[in-house]
Amino acid sequence: MYQKSLTITAPHGIHTRPAALIVKEAKTFDCDVIVECNGKKASAKSLFKLQTLGLYQGVDVTVSAQGVQAETAVNQIAFMLSSLE
């Protein structure tokens, strides 16, 4: 398993539009990508589940993955979470 921690910096957090971009990107990887925030976990491949995490500015998030492309997937999703607005 590979994982990376980060803090959401987007002023409005990760709302529907950027979350949809994250889901689209996560679906390109052949591994399970999990986003964890405030003790809750959700698949990065599910828009509905991502939106239940409360990804607001200033919250700490851990992205983890297991599988063939785990490291690449985690790095890409973590980058998107930290840079999308």
Domain residue spans of the chain: 2-83
Q: What is the mean pLDDT of the chain?
A: 95
pLDDT at res. 19: 95
Amino acid identity at 76: Q
Q: Is the pLDDT of residue 25 over 80?
A: yes
Q: What's the rounded Cα separation, in Å, for the pair 82 and 9?
A: 6
Confidence of residue 85 (pLDDT cuts 50, 70, 90): confident
Residue 15 catalytic? yes
pLDDT tens for 32-66 read 999 999 999 999 999 999 999 999 999 999 999 99
Please, which residues bridge with residue 40 across strands?
A: 37
Out of 15, 32, 46, 62, the active site residue is: 15
Q: Is the pLDDT of residue 4 over 90?
A: yes
CB 80 within 8 A of CB 25: yes
- The C-alpha R_g of the chain, in whole angstroms, comes to 11
Where does 2-83 sit in CATH, by number?
3.30.1340.10
